[in-house]
Structure formats: structure tokens, C-alpha cells
């Protein structure tokens, strides 16, 4: 951008990434308009995600060896990662780049970029939470990765230490300590090999946080336009002119595309190629009367790749799985049953209650880049910025991404290096 600071700023998308972006910009005194096609904030991918704020394990999905797993699991309903053969032709160049970034050196570099962004984002979240007194059913006592194989646990501890390079704390703990920290696992004590505890991690309701962030932005002067669909972004010459919606045209000096998987379609007419592919995930949220039986810590079951999250006194969310199946949010009963079967094995005392008929089911599309890190900052079209492509880590990275993009809009120096997050990389 030129040296002139923008005054009128439009943020497209009101998920956790878009609402935090609006808040970061409103704090800087801009005239912010937040445009969202749904009736309220966080009505799509941020609505019922896994809830973990987990920077220490925010590495990309395309770890070395994933391709073999995808091929072996073709057609399996219980596979953590599942590739639909019908979706393969639509992956094109994105799919080739996804595969090329499985090389160990590239994977480690991309993972470390995600981790440093996640750690910075956690700092930003904590500042906002204190500044505005935000309550979003949060848990601040860390998280655990639970293991049922001693060999896999030892390998994971070694890998995690290599990856983190002491950037974040981890604690390998034995079975007795696992049960002491999470009594809900006592019924599966004999099966456990141990866990890795992450004391700095947090969790919470991303939807509730998004609603609070949007509300706080509005208090600072932002205009919220829900139920408003963006039709196009208009450019005059080589500069942004306005955003055209079904409610009229909105003049703007700058805009931030923060619409998750829909960002690609919005940017394409401008000649901006955003390499984002939608990967479907699932969750099931329960209200459990027997609150004493609920787990208190967020946990990742490493065998089946799902997370458990307590929300408030009676809420329990089970989330996970990854379907490479294109732009469909269809909820597949077989996949839901696979998710809940794993949860029943982990939490057998709740087995009778963890059934689909008692759950609020959800499927969302995570916006995944081929290398893993999100796309942050100004595009090749002056005045058009992007904040998208966070994959399954939108909640973990949202606040930091918002601050980085807002700083770039204002011409401020970034708090952390932006290398690895460029939209045109």
C-alpha cells in the first residue's frame, strides 16, 4: 500500500478469524464494517470446532507418511483421515503442492511457522480476555495427548522436543499422573501408556468468543452487517474501490478477506489465487447431567485422532476426523459413529450417553493450505488483504493473525516475522 493510512475498512467473514480481525482494526480507530452472509457470527466453521487453543501441536496435517495412510484408508469409515476418490480430480495443483510439502524439511519448517504464530496468538488472546473481561466457557489448565502405546509415546516425545526446540513446554507423564490429572480416564487405566501434557494450552467455545469479539468491535464503532452476502470486490485500475453486496455497494480504502474456504472464490475474479482446499471435520456436542463423570482437561486421543472438550458445567464436545471430499458439509452417519465409538472407548462410563441421537451434530470445512501455514497480509492487489487458510487451527491462530494483518493494514511493524505466511507464496 502507499503511505496513506486507510480509513474505511471492510472485513469479509465473521468466523473467529474475521471477528478478531474486525476487533484488531477497530481498536486502531478505523471505520470498520464487518460483513457476514449468515445471521450471526461463527455460524459455519467456527460454530462447533474442537475448541482447543493448542499452539504446541499446531503442525500441518501433511506430515511425512500421510499419503500412505490416505491410500490404505480408502473406503474405511473409521479412518481418521479419509480421501474421497471423487474429490481427487478437483484437488489439482493444490494436491500436488500438498504432497510436495510432506518432505520432512519442508514439513518441519511449516510446522514451526504455525507454532510461533500459535504462541503469539495465545498472548494476544490473553490480552483481549483480560482487557475486555471475556467469558467463553474457557479452560486454562492445559491439555493432554493420550497414548495407548509406549513405543508411540516415546517416539512422540522425541519428535515433539525436536519440533518445538524449547519454544513451548511439554511434560511426558506416566499413567498414575495421567489419572491424577484426569480422573475420568481411570476406567481405561490398564490400556494407557501415558500422555504428553501441554501446560500452556487452553480451550473454550470459539463461537461464543467470536460473538464477544464482534460485539466488542461494535462498541468501538464497527458496523456489523449480518445476513449480507458479498457479490464482488470492485477494483478501479489497480486499487480497491468498494465491496458489492446484496444490500448495496460499500466504499472502502481496504478490505480483508477472512471468509475461510469461501475466500478463494471471492479473490479469484481479481486475479488472486488463494490455494485453499476445504477439509470436512465433525463434532458432536452433548449436555451431560452427571457433571462429575465429565473430563475436565481437553484431550487428544492419538490412536483415533479426536479431541474431547468440556464446555461449562454440563457440556461435552467430541470433535475430529478429516474428510478430503470437496465443498460439502454433509454429515455422514458412518463418520459420526466412528467418532463416537472412539469417544466411548476413551470414556466408557459415559458410553450410554455418547450416542448420535443425543448429540448436536455438526460438520464444518477447515480451510487448508497446501503447506499448512495460513495466508496473511496484502495481496498483489493494493488494498486487498487476506486472513484465511488456517486449516484446523483457526481458533488457535485467530487473535495473532488478526493483530498481524491489522498491523500490516496500518503500516506498523509486525510483532513476529511474516515469512512463511505471505498470500502469494
Among residues 348, 419, 342, 338, which one has the least CA distance to residue 377?
Answer: 419
| pLDDT of residue 344 exceeding 80 | yes
Q: How many CB atoms lie within 10 A of CB 326?
A: 17
Is position 126 within any domain?
Answer: no
For the cut 80, the answer to whether the pLDDT of residue 1 exceeds it is no
Model pTM?
Answer: 0.96
72 band by pLDDT with thresholds 50, 70 and 90 = confident
pLDDT band at 3 (very low <50, low <70, confident <90, very high): low
Task: Assess if residue 421 is contained within a domain.
Answer: no
Percentage above 90 pLDDT, the chain: 91
Domain span including residue 66 = 60-100+139-201+277-368
Residue 338 covered by a domain: yes
Q: Which of 182, 264, 187, 293 is nearest to 12 (CA)?
A: 264
Tell me how many domains the chain contains: 1
Report residue 197: phi and psi, to 5°. -100, 140
Is 315 inside any structural domain?
Answer: yes
Backbone phi, psi, residue 103, to 5°: -60, 140
Q: What is the overall mean pLDDT for the chain? A: 95
**Average pLDDT for 35-64:** 96
Q: What is the mean pLDDT of residues 155-167?
A: 96
Nearest to 405 by CA among 257, 264, 252, 270: 257
State yes or no: pLDDT of 411 exceeds 90. Answer: yes
What would the DSSP string read from start to end of 207-225? HHHHHHHHHHHHHTTPEEE
Give me the helices (H) in 50-187, please.
Answer: 66-72, 88-100, 104-132, 150-164, 175-181
CA-to-CA distance for 23 and 321, rounded, in angstroms? 31
Residue 211 CB neighbours (<10 A) = 19
148 within some domain: yes
96-102-106-108 Cα dihedral, nearest 10 degrees: 150
Decide if pLDDT at 271 tops 80.
Answer: yes
Strand ranges inside 138-276, DSSP E: 143-147, 171-173, 194-198, 202-203, 223-225, 230-236, 239-245, 248-251, 254-257
Reported confidence tier of residue 299, pLDDT bands at 50, 70, 90: very high
The answer to whether residue 330 scores a pLDDT higher than 80 is yes
Is the pLDDT at 391 greater than 60, yes or no?
yes
| CA separation for the pair 47, 206 (Å, rounded) | 7
Pull the grid cell for residue 383.
Answer: 488494498
Q: Is residue 268 part of a domain?
A: no
Could you tell me the CATH number of the domain that includes residue 348?
3.30.9.10
Asked if residue 119 belongs to a domain, the reply is no
Paired with 232 in beta bridges are: 244
Amino acid at each position: 500500500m502507499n503511505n496513506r493510512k486507510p480509513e474505511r475498512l471492510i472485513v469479509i467473514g465473521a468466523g473467529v478469524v474475521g471477528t478478531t480481525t474486525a476487533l484488531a482494526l477497530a481498536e486502531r480507530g478505523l471505520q470498520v464494517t464487518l460483513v457476514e452472509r449468515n445471521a450471526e457470527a461463527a455460524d459455519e466453521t467456527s460454530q462447533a470446532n474442537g475448541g482447543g487453543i493448542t499452539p504446541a501441536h499446531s503442525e500441518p496435517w501433511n506430515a511425512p507418511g500421510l499419503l500412505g495412510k490416505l491410500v490404505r484408508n480408502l473406503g474405511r469409515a473409521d479412518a481418521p483421515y479419509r480421501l474421497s476418490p471423487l474429490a481427487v480430480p478437483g484437488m489439482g495443483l493444490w494436491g500436488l503442492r500438498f504432497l510436495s510439502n510432506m518432505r520432512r524439511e519442508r514439513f518441519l519448517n511449516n510446522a514451526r511457522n504455525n507454532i510461533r504464530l500459535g504462541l503469539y496468538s495465545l498472548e494476544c488472546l490473553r490480552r483481549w480476555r483480560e482487557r475486555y473481561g471475556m467469558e467463553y466457557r474457557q479452560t486454562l489448565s492445559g491439555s493432554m495427548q493420550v497414548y495407548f502405546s509406549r513405543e508411540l509415546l516415546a517416539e512422540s516425545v522425541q519428535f515433539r522436543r525436536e519440533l518445538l526446540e524449547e519454544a513451548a513446554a511439554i511434560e511426558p507423564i506416566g499413567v498414575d499422573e495421567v489419572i491424577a490429572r484426569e480422573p475420568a480416564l481411570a476406567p481405561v487405566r490398564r490400556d494407557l501408556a501415558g500422555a504428553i501434557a501441554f501446560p500452556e494450552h487452553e480451550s473454550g467455545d470459539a463461537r461464543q468468543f467470536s460473538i464477544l469479539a464482534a460485539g466488542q468491535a461494535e462498541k468501538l464503532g464497527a458496523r456489523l452487517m449480518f445476513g449480507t452476502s458479498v457479490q464482488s470486490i470492485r477494483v478501479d485500475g489497480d486499487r480497491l474501490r468498494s465491496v458489492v453486496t446484496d444490500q448495496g455497494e460499500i466504499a472502502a480504502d481496504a478490505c480483508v478477506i477472512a471468509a475461510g474456504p469461501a475466500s478463494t472464490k471471492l479473490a479469484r475474479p481479481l486475479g488472486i489465487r488463494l490455494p485453499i482446499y476445504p477439509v470436512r471435520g465433525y463434532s458432536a456436542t452433548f449436555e451431560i447431567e452427571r457433571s462429575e463423570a465429565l473430563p475436565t482437561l481437553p484431550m487428544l486421543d492419538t490412536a483415533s485422532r479426536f479431541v474431547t472438550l468440556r464446555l461449562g458445567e454440563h457440556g461435552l464436545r467430541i470433535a475430529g476426523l478429516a474428510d478430503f471430499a470437496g465443498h460439502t458439509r454433509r454429515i455422514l452417519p458412518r463418520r459420526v459413529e466412528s467418532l463416537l465409538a472412539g469417544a466411548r472407548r476413551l470414556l466408557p462410563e459415559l458410553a450410554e450417553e455418547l450416542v448420535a441421537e443425543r448429540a448436536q451434530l455438526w460438520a464444518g470445512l477447515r480451510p487448508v493450505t497446501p503447506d499448512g501455514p495460513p495466508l496473511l497480509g496484502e495481496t498483489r492487489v493494493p488494498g486487498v488483504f487476506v486472513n484465511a487458510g488456517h486449516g484446523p487451527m483457526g481458533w488457535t491462530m485467530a487473535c495473532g493473525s488478526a493483530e498481524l494483518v491489522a498491523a500490516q493494514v496500518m503500516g506498523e511493524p509486525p510483532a513476529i516475522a511474516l515469512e512463511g505466511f505471505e498470500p502469494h507464496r
